[in-house]
Amino acid sequence: MNQVALQQYLDFAYIVAVVLFILSLRFLSSPVTARWGVLAGEIGAGLAVIATLFNPEVTHYKWILIPLIIGAGVGVPLGMVQMTAVPQRTALSHAFGALSAALIGIAEYYVGTRSVTRFEMGEISLEVIIGSLTFTGSLIAAGKLQEILPQRPIVYRGQNIVSLAVLAGALGLAVALVVNPGQPLLFPIMVVVALIFGVLLVTPIGGADMPTVISLLNSYAGISAALLGFVLNSKVLVVAGALDGSSGFILSVIMCKAMNRSFTNVLFGAFGQVKASAAAGVETRTAKSASAEDAAGILAAASTVVIVPGYGMAVAQAQHKVRELYDVLTKKGVDVRFAIHPVAGRMPGHMNVLLAEADIPYDRLAEMDDINGDFAQTDVALIIGANDVTNPAARTDESSPIYGMPILDVDKAHTVMVIKRSMSPGFAGIDNPLYFMDQTLMLFGDAKAFVGNIVRELSGAGGH
């Protein structure tokens, strides 16, 4: 095959890959088509890699094959982690993606020093800065989520000024390199400063802001890949990076909105520090607890039940038991729906994925805004391992760190039942006054075991 024809085939393969990436994002926006989205993305990425291997510029394969084997050796086990570990696994993926973008940029600088123009120097510098800070930032985020590092924000006086000064330092070095690309000493210093900034960027962030930070780092990794596409003159990389960067950014905005927080607040607000809460008086009140038998009786007598899943359901892997509960109640003629808060769990769509895995019909899942008006007519709100997303202090207590965050209005239901193991707080680290309300019953225990017990009671209890 002649070179021109080969290039045409390769361009065509890249166009198909890009179309598949766009379709992938489209499909991923609904749980009904999400599996297709994953498949489209995988095929697109596979096609782009294979096409690149056929590129005439690739002259020998040894240095591609060895890393491919090492990468697959690391990637395959990483893909098999438990559902609850997916946020930190995602952070690691961003770290690796950003590292590879940074390393390729660094290699481009050293290989191309002779001919590098000012414009190219600008591209390389920006790409390497964003890649490097995303690498260390994502590693810190993964460490925090895996609880290897303290989850709370680590803060000190003048922190924001120090961090911004370091960032300004990296950008200043980039400008100096653009002005004079032939200064080899400045380049490695710029890389080190950017790596340090990544650490400074994420250490002061913690608590409930971590998933948003992961999404933001995803966006940074995409931007650095897109810039790398310009450096390497690879259109497919520009488009894939831009899609990754913009979708990650949009997701971060959605998450910020769902938590009623601004970007600057997430980045500089140090959310999750131990703060004296005005709800301190709450502890003097006592919460009522009930058994699985009591809970089964109340559920069997209800006409409408709304189940609110949260992070605890994910940790306990209780979704299949929840499906059994849904089946047994539906058989008894109870109308059962699921209320999904946009940030329930530890990543967007966490609850949708788990409930879909247990084959709970999608049309039984309702978004927060669609179901909130119905709680006042709901007999039982059954909360399974959710806490912050049901905390009424977000509506009423101006001193609460989650004040203003939209929540599921479960406190308006006639009876509220909460399955969790103890009275300890959720991700945001604050008390939940819901547990002390008159209509609330605490069902203490592991979500999977407790729901299993309720199902057993209901199955033995006979008809409605």
The set of catalytic residues is 388
Instruction: Give whichever of 225 and 339 is closer to ligand NAP, judged by the CB atom.
Output: 339
311 touching ligand NAP, by CB under 6 A: yes
Q: Which string of b and e fits 330-339 if b means at least 16 CB within 10 Å?
A: eebebebbbb
Contact pattern for ligand NAP over residues 373 through 392, marking x by CB under 6 A: ------------xxxxx---
348, 342 in Cβ contact below 8 A? yes
Q: How far is the CB of 207 from ligand NAP (least distance, A)?
A: 7
Residue 158 burial (10 A CB sphere; 0-12, 13-18, 19+) = exposed
Q: How far is the CB of 457 from ligand NAP (least distance, A)?
A: 18
Half-sphere exposure of 38 toward its Cβ, with a 13 Å CA cutoff?
Answer: 5
Instruction: Give whichever of 121 and 339 is closer to ligand NAP, judged by the CB atom.
Output: 339
Among 208, 243, 298, 380, binds ligand NAP (CB under 6 A): 208
Distance (Å) of CA 204 to CA 152, 162, 180, 426:
8, 12, 35, 19
Q: How far is the CB of 166 from ligand NAP (least distance, A)?
A: 26
315 touching ligand NAP, by CB under 6 A: yes
Q: How far apart are CA 31 and CA 26, in angstroms?
A: 11
Q: Taking CB under 6 A as the criterion, which residues in 401-460 touch ligand NAP? A: 419-422, 424, 426-428, 446-447
Instruction: Give whichever of 143 and 385 is closer to ligand NAP, judged by the CB atom.
Output: 385
Beta-bridged to residue 193, according to DSSP, are: none
Residue with tokens 């359901």: 313
Among 312, 401, 406, 433, binds ligand NAP (CB under 6 A): 312
Q: How far is the CB of 315 from ligand NAP (least distance, A)?
A: 4
E strands within 287-364? 304-309, 335-340
Choose among 374, 313, 370: nearest CA to 342.
370
Q: How far apart are CA 320 and CA 316, in angstroms?
A: 10
Identity at 229, one-letter amino acid code: G
Question: Taking CB positions, which residue lies at the least distance from ligand NAP?
Answer: 426
Instruction: Give whichever of 189 and 290 is closer to ligand NAP, judged by the CB atom.
Output: 290
Among 105, 153, 181, 211, binds ligand NAP (CB under 6 A): 211
Q: How far is the CB of 1 from ligand NAP (least distance, A)?
A: 48
Choose among 135, 129, 126, 133: nearest CA to 230.
126
Instruction: Give whichever of 102 and 221 is closer to ligand NAP, judged by the CB atom.
Output: 221
Contact pattern for ligand NAP over residues 335 through 374, marking x by CB under 6 A: --------xxxxxx-x------------------------
Q: Taking CB under 6 A as the criterion, which residues in 249-278 touch ligand NAP? A: 255, 259
Q: Taking CB under 6 A as the criterion, which residues in 47-76 touch ligand NAP? A: none
Q: For the chain, what's the residue count?
A: 464
Instruction: Give whichever of 87 and 97 is closer to ligand NAP, judged by the CB atom.
Output: 87
Q: Taking CB under 6 A as the criterion, which residues in 108-167 touch ligand NAP? A: none
Q: Which string of b and e fits 411-444 if b means at least 16 CB within 10 Å?
A: bbbebbbbbbeeeeebbbbbbbbbbbbebbbbbe
Instruction: Give whichever of 101 and 442 is closer to ligand NAP, judged by the CB atom.
Output: 442
Q: How many CB atoms lie within 10 A of CB 241?
A: 24
List of residues contacting ligand NAP (CB under 6 A): 208, 211-212, 255, 259, 310-312, 315-316, 343-348, 350, 385-389, 419-422, 424, 426-428, 446-447
